[in-house]
């Protein structure tokens, strides 16, 4: 029975991915900063572990408790919607600490085992926001674009060792908690220069029309990456993500 470890499983993409892999009969190690067993079905194949990807001791403890895994999904992330001029240094630091350095820490934690076994799959969840310039998410985009670059280089480095590496690029997902968690960091709503831009972007996210990404789309994309050796390095998740990737070439 293959084993998958997924970070950020308390809601959204991570939660749906954990549910899908449980349904498929996999052993699932679902990690959360604050473990909550109530969000997932009871299963003998499920283990819930505490994990803060920004804490080296927490990363080491989780990997030690997990034991041998076959697939790592780096899904834990943090978002902030704020103009670049106004973003607080602490918020910018947290974006890179969680999204970029947290992913790097998890990758480094599993690679010795994967490389020794000449097998394993690493799946990093980023964003189609990295494919085009968007206002209010510049620093967030930068933190996720850094993961794209890291993953692309990692794929080349791991090819001789039989370790597969993939990037999942979700589109706009208004049904998740991402926007809700990002809003407290917003600045500039009362600034006459920034207010029209902010109001327009908030309305676009709140009243999303046309194709969007659902959490289940990301779970299916992760399933493809985990189970199909021919899957591409970059995988779009969601109808809008497919469209954005096609336009980006």
CA angle 33, 28, 214 (to 5 degrees): 75
Which residues, at least 6 apart from 30, have a Cβ–Cβ distance to it below 8 Å? 6, 9, 14, 15, 18, 40, 46, 47, 48, 49
How many CB atoms lie under 10 A from the CB of residue 27? 20
34 is an active site residue: no
| End-to-end Cα spacing for the chain | 37
- Fill in the DSSP letter of residue 229: T
How many CB atoms lie under 10 A from the CB of residue 180? 11
Q: Distance between alpha carbon 76 and the CA centroid of its chain, in Å?
A: 5
User: 27, 140, 194, 195: which is the annotated catalytic residue?
Assistant: 140
Around 15, how many Cα atoms within 13 Å sit in the side-chain half-sphere? 16
Instruction: Tell the residue number behind the tokens 């240094």, with chain if given.
Output: 89
Q: How far is it, in rounded angstroms, from Cα 219 to Cα 10?
A: 14
User: 19, 24, 34, 144: which is the annotated catalytic residue?
Assistant: 144
194 is an active site residue: no
Strand order in the sheet with 27-32: 46-50, 27-32, 3-6, 71-74, 121-125, 164-170, 234-237
Residues with a known catalytic role:
140, 144
């Amino acid at each position: 029975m293959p084993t998958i470890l997924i970070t950020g499983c308390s809601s959204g993409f991570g939660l749906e991915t954990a549910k899908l892999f449980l349904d498929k009969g996999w052993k699932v190690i679902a990690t959360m900063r604050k473990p909550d067993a109530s969000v997932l079905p009871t299963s003998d194949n499920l283990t819930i572990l505490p994990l803060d990807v920004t804490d080296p001791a927490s990363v080491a403890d989780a990997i030690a408790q997990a034991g041998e895994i076959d697939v790592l999904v780096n899904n834990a992330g943090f978002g902030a919607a704020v103009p670049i001029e106004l973003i607080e240094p602490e918020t910018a630091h947290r974006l890179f600490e969680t999204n970029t350095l947290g992913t790097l820490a998890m990758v480094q934690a599993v690679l010795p085992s994967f490389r020794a076994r000449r097998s394993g799959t690493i799946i990093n969840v980023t964003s189609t926001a990295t494919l085009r310039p968007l206002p209010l998410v510049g620093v967030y985009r930068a933190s996720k674009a850094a993961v794209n670059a890291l993953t692309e280089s990692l794929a080349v480095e791991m090819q001789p060792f039989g370790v597969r590496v993939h990037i999942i690029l979700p589109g706009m997902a208004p049904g998740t908690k991402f926007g809700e968690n990002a809003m407290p960091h917003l600045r500039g709503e009362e600034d006459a220069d920034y207010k029209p831009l902010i109001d327009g972007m908030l309305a676009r996210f709140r009243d999303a029309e046309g194709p969007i990404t659902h959490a289940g789309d990301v779970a299916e994309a992760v399933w493809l990456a985990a189970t199909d050796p021919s899957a591409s390095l970059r995988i779009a998740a969601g109808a809008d993500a497919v469209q954005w990737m096609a336009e980006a070439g």
